[in-house]
Chain A
Amino acid sequence: MQGVDDAELVRLAQAGRREAFDAIVQRHQKQVYQLCYRFVGNHEDASDLAQDAFVRAFRALPRFKAESALGTWLYRIAVNVCLNRKAVKTPHFEGIDEVERADTKSERADAAVLRQERAVEVRAAIARLPPKQRATLILRAYHDLPHEQIAGILGSSVGAVKANFFHALANLKKLLDT
């Protein structure tokens, strides 16, 4: 299934080929997990949310009309799952001891601790943003999606996405400066 494109995988999965859906999961699992992680800030909830998103995608797959890209559709499901989950409304953030210490070999220990503390602060500040601003910020800043695609995911206009992104950044700066 590695050489098969998303559209063909969707067609096969809709025809009942379970291995095609497995390939869809394998292809998009990292993006969906990362999105969920940005919402909840801890691995356990992010893993649960990402799995939930794919379960919902599997059940909704017969109704997927391919009017949008598969990735966009999966993002939309994941965002909805995240915004509806209680854990996202009251997130438990991993402390610096729980966070994987990546890229720390080349930096001094105190610098690594400061960087990780800052990362926890940033995640906590993002969690305090209004839902649409938070979703916009995550999709734009961390997933590098174009405004048009974010608009499709969130069901907003492109102008509203740009405005939300601006306000998200402005609010985030205020939260981190206080």
Chain B
Amino acid sequence: MTHLNETELIEWLDGGLGAERAAHVDTCGTCHAALVSIGSTLAMLAANHAPEPSPLFWDHFGRRVNERIDRRVPDGERHGITGWLFGARRAALVAAVVVIFAAAIGFRGGDNPTSIQDPADSVRLSPGPAPVVREADGPRSDDPVVNDPLDDIDADAAWAVVRTAAEDMGYDEARAEGLAARPGSTERVALGLSGDELAELARLIENELKRTGA
């Protein structure tokens, strides 16, 4: 009769091996020795107790779990393939935001995308005349911003998906992914805006400052 294979040896230890194969052990020194060896290793493992933390540890364990649930897990705590996927997904998301934003800026820049104006000539921080709507932007209405692409974009379903996903991302996470603005990049972008774009940017900043009370 053949020796017990590895699966049968484990089944013998569990008492789950059939009677015929189990009887083989009584007459086979090799299989018997293998079982003694496995049994001694198991006995050694059984004697190796893990230390029990103090009762105080368990009192605080649930609270610590809840604290970690309530705050976003920093990137440094993400590991392995899931961490990589999460980072890649977020990078793709931000890339999509950048592309859409660039497309919107490019669309608005339209007539003279390469013109550079002195921001001091164009930015109006105090309430002034409403931004001029060019013919290319569509027909005029009583409210000059009704047809503004940057306002319409709030109703855009695709943009809503990006915006919803981006709301889940904090500044620190974006920075950790290497997506933070480089020194001077804001100035470079501002210098590339047209007068109308700068006026709109000023209006948005002013509204945001009023809204937050800053």
- Check if A55 sits within 8 Å of B53, measured CB to CB: no
Roughly how many angstroms separate A123 CA and B48 CA in the complex, as a whole number? 9
Measured as residues with beta carbon below 8 angstroms from the partner, the interface class of chain B is: 35 or more
- Check if B48 sits within 8 Å of A122, measured CB to CB: yes
Closest-CB distance, B39 to chain A (whole angstroms) = 9
Whether A14 sits at the interface, judged by CB under 8 Å, is no
Roughly how many angstroms separate A58 CA and B64 CA in the complex, as a whole number? 13
Roughly how many angstroms separate A167 CA and B9 CA in the complex, as a whole number? 11
Residue ID in chain A nearest B46 by CB atoms:
A141
**A43-B51, A123-B48 known; A166-B10 Cβ under 8 A:** yes
Residues 151-171 of chain A, each 1 if its beta carbon lies under 8 Å from chain B, else 0: 000000001001101110110
Roughly how many angstroms separate A50 CA and B6 CA in the complex, as a whole number? 33
**A51-B68, A86-B79 known; A167-B50 Cβ under 8 A:** no
Closest-CB distance, B32 to chain A (whole angstroms) = 16
**Interface contact tally, CB-CB below 8 A:** 96
- Check if A38 sits within 8 Å of B50, measured CB to CB: yes
The secondary structure that dominates the A interface is helix
Residues 109-128 of chain A, each 1 if its beta carbon lies under 8 Å from chain B, else 0: 00000010011001100000
Roughly how many angstroms separate A18 CA and B67 CA in the complex, as a whole number? 13
- Check if A172 sits within 8 Å of B41, measured CB to CB: yes
Interface centre among A18, A33, A169 (most CB of B within 10 A): A169
Tell me the chain B residues, 49-74 only, with Cβ under 8 Å from chain A: 49-53, 57-58, 61-62, 64-66, 68-69, 73
Identify which of A52, A100, A142 contacts B45 (C-beta below 8 A). A142
Interface centre among B11, B37, B53, B82 (most CB of A within 10 A): B53
